[in-house]
Amino acid sequence: MKRVFLLIGVVVIINCCAFRVFAADGWASVSDTNGTPYNVTGGAAGATVTPTTVAQFYTYATSSTPYVIQVSGTIDVSAYSNHRINVKSNKTIIGIGTAPTIYGGLNISGTSNIIISRLNINFDANEGSDDPDTDGITIQSGAHHIWINHCSIYNSPDGLLDIGSGSDYVTVSWCKFYYETGIYNTSHHFANLIGSSDSDTGDRGKLHITFHHNWWSDLCVGRMPRVRFGQVHIYNNYYSCADNDYCIHPGVEAQLFVENNYFFYVDEPIDEKETGALVEGTIYTNTMSHCTNVHQDIGYDTVFTPPYYYCLVYAPYVKNIVINGAGADGIEPAQPAAPTGLTATTNATSVSLDWDDNTDSNLSGYNVYRSTTPGSRYVKKNSTTVTSSNYTDSTVVYGTTYYYIVTAITYNSYTNESTYSDEISAIPLTYGDFVINQAVDTNDLGYFIDLWLISDCNDTEGVDIDDDCLVNFIEFAAMAENWTEQ
């Protein structure tokens, strides 16, 4: 039987996004580019331990046994080779208490299922410039399914957090990257190198990485990130590294999806592209405040579609949310409740949306977003805050499928935005034009007859005008009213 409910009906996609659930998201949450789920558990299958010496930390971190390793105070690993410790698979390393710190670096090489969270990771300001391997965190040699969350990484002589040599499925979220004044090796204040060389062609098809809600702050010069080959999703990050050289660099064959970031007083938010690089994300989807050398012609490519659910914050809100939330001690803001009950009705020239009132005490209103791609690439439709729980979109094209979500906005000390409502789809057209040829005629009768007098809510959804789960003379009269004269 032919199905026609999409013509005036809706499709609901469950909203899986939430900031405050302690679970990996982004590329780390999937096992392939089709979006098959992967659960990053770290060391949850093992014991929780709190080492009091660096030797104990080394034993736990390099063991083949799963562990949740709690870091209290400072663990100085600088006595080990390249000032770092190699972390084996199935580990969670998480800071507790006041200023938990790894002094030195962590090397994640050829391992998987690792969570690093709530840590300060740093080097002494005058150490290590002649050691090219002294990153704060290195992810390399095919390491995969790694989640770096709520870390403050600074002063590392080589890179702050570098990813390369076939590594894959990594998410970096709510981290702060910076350098302090007076640090040795000032010419190498580079934050995040993704893919170490143009000749590392083994990175093709690898380096699926998500950066979200991170803060590139004082004295970062470049590589925020610099990407070769990878498919890297960069959204809702904040850049305030004045006097930098560039922020994001699209290197050889990189695909970058740059969404709803906030660039503040920086130079070259998105650098010029190298051979084969693609960038999606323009000045219209990112906020570029007081920036110099903004390349107007970059950002109009079509790149990969993220195979995971995620919730964007409107770019102008990102600054304060990330400043308060990023870093080892950052607090992610409590969000308003997402709107519920979103529905749509259509005609030939518009889509009318309606949803339940939000009851948050600090409610400012709502934002309405639309896309032609399910689950992503939403563009905000309202130029001013929507203050009622309904909205009519009159900027539609007949017969096009649109996808809508709505968010709630609150204002306390700064603007905050909810996660998404459920997504709905709608097609503006005339009732009865089931073949979408801008005419209601004999071509549509076969579709309609297939549903005649069938009492089934699922089968008749979208064709059933009076919501009685039945297609009968009520619907026939509506179709006849729109009948095209021959």
For residues 40-65, give the mean pLDDT.
98
pLDDT at 125: 54
Give the pLDDT band (50/70/90) at residue 277: very high
Cβ neighbours of residue 471 under 8 Å, at least 6 residues apart? 448, 451, 452, 453, 454, 460, 463, 464
Mean pLDDT check: name the lowest of 46-60, 180-194, 217-231, 261-275.
Answer: 180-194
pLDDT at 238: 98
Q: What is the mean pLDDT of the chain?
A: 91
Q: Which of 434, 432, 409, 431 is nearest to 419 (CA)?
A: 409
Angle, CA of 42, 239 and 74, to the nearest 5°: 45
The span from the CA of 230 to the CA of 244, in Å, is: 23
3-state secondary structure the chain: CCCCHHHCCCCCECCCCCCCCCCCCHHHHECCCCCCECCCCCCCCCEEECCCCHHHHHHHHCCCCCEEEEEEEEEECCCCHHHEEECCCCEEEEEEEEEEEEECEEEEECCEEEEEECCEEECCCCCCCCCCCCCCEEEECCCEEEEEECCEEECCCCECEEECCCCEEEEEECCEEECCCCCCCHHHCECCEECCCCCCHHHCCCCEEEEECCEECCCCCECCCEECCCEEEEECCEECCCCCCCCEEECCCCEEEEECCEEECCECCECCCCCCCEEECCCCCCEEECCECCCCCCCECCCCCCCCCCCCCCHHHHHHHHHHHCCCCCCCCCCCCCCCCCEEEECCCCEEEECCCCCCCCEEEEEEEEECCCCCCCEECCCCCECCCEEEECCCCCCCCEEEEEEEEEECCCEEECCCCCEEEECCCCCCCCCCCCCCCHHHHHHHHHCECCECHHHHCCCCCCCCCEECHHHHHHHHHCCCCC
Residue 2's CB: how many other CB atoms inside 10 A?
A: 10
For residues 358-367, give the mean pLDDT.
94
pLDDT at 13: 31
Q: Are 440 and 483 in contact (CB under 8 A)?
A: yes
Q: Which tens digits make up the pLDDT trace of 75-130?
A: 999 889 888 999 999 999 999 999 999 999 999 999 999 999 999 999 865 554 54
> Does residue 410 or residue 5 have the better pLDDT?
410
For residues 374-389, give the mean pLDDT.
95
- Judged against a pLDDT cut of 60, whether residue 355 lies above it is answered with yes
- Six token digits for residue 109: 């090489």
Give the pLDDT band (50/70/90) at residue 10: very low
Catalogue the active-site residues. 223
Q: Which domains does the chain have, with CATH numbers?
A: 26-325 (2.160.20.10), 343-426 (2.60.40.10), 434-481 (no CATH)
Alpha-carbon separation of residue 183 from 82, 155, 190, 278, 371 (angstroms) = 18, 7, 13, 35, 46
- Judged against a pLDDT cut of 60, whether residue 276 lies above it is answered with yes
Give percent of the chain with pLDDT exceeding 90: 75
pTM to 2 decimal places: 0.89
pLDDT at 16: 36
The span from the CA of 242 to the CA of 252, in Å, is: 26
Give percent of the chain with pLDDT exceeding 70: 92
- Judged against a pLDDT cut of 60, whether residue 468 lies above it is answered with yes
The span from the CA of 128 to the CA of 136, in Å, is: 12
Q: Which tens digits make up the pLDDT trace of 433-467?
A: 888 888 888 888 888 888 888 888 888 877 888 88
Give the pLDDT band (50/70/90) at residue 171: very high
